[in-house]
A and B are shown apart, each in its own frame.
Chain A
Amino acid sequence: MTLNRRDFVTTTIGLAASLAAPMVMAAGKPRVVVIGGGAGGATAARHLAEASKGALDVTLVEPTRKYYTCFFSNLYLGGFQEFAALGHTYGKLAADFGVNVVHDWAVGIDRDAKTVSLAGGGTLPYDRLILSPGIDFVDGAVPGWDITAQNAMPHAYKAGSQTQLLKAQIEAMPAGGVYAMIAPPNPFRCPPGPYERISMVAHRLKQINPTAKILIVDPKEKFSKQALFEDGWMRHYGGMVERVGPDFGAANTSVDPAAMTVDIDGEVTKVDVCNVIPAQKAGRICETAGITDGNWVPVNPHTMQARADENIHVLGDASAQGDMPKSGFSANSQAKVAVMAVRGALTDSRVFPAKYSNTCWSLLGTDDGVKVGAAYEATDEKIASVESFISQTGEDAALRKQTYEESLGWYAGITADMFG
Chain B
Amino acid sequence: MLKRRKRSILAGSALLAWAAFAPAVMAERIGDAERGAEIYRKCAACHMVGAQAKNRIGPHLNGIFGRKAAALDGFRYSDAMRRAGADGLIWELDKLDAYLENPKALVTGTRMSFAGIRSLDDRHDVLAYLRTFSDKPRDIPEASPTAVAHEVALAPEVLAMAGDRDYGEYLSSECLTCHRKDGSDRGIPAITGWRNEDFVVAMHAYRQKLRPHPVMQMMAGRLSDEEIAALAAYFAALE
Contacts and interface: CB of A to CB of B under 8 A. Distances in A.
Interface in A365-420: 371, 373-375, 377, 386-389, 398-399, 401-402, 405-410, 412-414, 416-417
Contacts of A408: 186-187
Contact of A417 (B166, B176, B215, B218): B176
B176 to A, nearest CB: 5
A410 B176 CA distance: 9
A407 B218 contact: no
B174 A413 contact: no
A359 interface: yes
A340 interface: yes
Contact of B178 (A336, A405, A409): A409
B171 interface: yes
B188 A406 contact: yes
A405 B187 contact: yes
Given A336-B173, A410-B187, A417-B176, A359 B215 contact: yes
Given A352-B167, A405-B187, A408-B187, A416 B218 contact: no
Contacts of B170: 336, 340, 350, 352
Given A410-B188, A416-B180, A387 B218 contact: yes
Contacts of B186: 408-409, 412-413
B83 A375 contact: no
Contacts of A401: 86
A410 B218 contact: no
A333 B174 contact: yes
Given A410-B177, A412-B187, A414-B177, A388 B86 contact: no
A402 B83 contact: yes
A417 B185 contact: no
B166 A350 contact: yes
B88 interface: yes
Interface in B70-116: 83, 85-88
Given A399-B86, A402-B86, A409-B186, A329 B215 contact: no
A413 B176 contact: yes
Contacts, number: 88
Contact count band on A: 35 or more
A74 interface: no
Given A405-B187, A406-B187, A409-B188, A417 B219 contact: no
B214 interface: yes
B6 interface: no
Contacts of B181: 416-417
A173 B179 CA distance: 40
Contact of A333 (B87, B177, B180, B187): B177
Interface string B147-182: 000000000000000000011011101101111111
B88 A399 contact: yes
A389 B214 contact: yes
A417 B187 contact: no
B86 A412 contact: no
Contacts of B178: 359, 409-410, 413-414
B221 interface: yes
Contact of A355 (B171, B182, B187, B214): B171
B176 A373 contact: no
Nearest to A395: B88
B187 A373 contact: no
B136 interface: no
Contacts of B171: 352, 355
B87 A402 contact: yes
Contacts of B177: 329, 332-333, 357, 410, 413-414, 417
Residue from the set B173, B180, B219 with the largest chain A CB neighbour count within 10 Å: B173
A153 to B, nearest CB: 34
A339 B179 CA distance: 19
A374 B215 CA distance: 8
Contacts of A414: 177-178
A231 to B, nearest CB: 18
A350 B230 CA distance: 14
A47 interface: yes
B42 interface: no
B225 to A, nearest CB: 16
Nearest to B167: A352
Contacts of A373: 214-215, 218
A374 B221 CA distance: 12
Contacts of B179: 413
B3 interface: no
B222 interface: yes
Contact of A371 (B174, B215, B221): B215
A352 B227 CA distance: 11
23 contacts: A47-B173, A51-B169, A350-B167, A352-B167, A352-B170, A352-B171, A357-B177, A359-B215, A371-B215, A387-B218, A389-B214, A399-B88, A406-B188, A409-B178, A409-B185, A412-B180, A412-B186, A412-B188, A413-B176, A413-B180, A416-B180, A417-B176, A417-B181
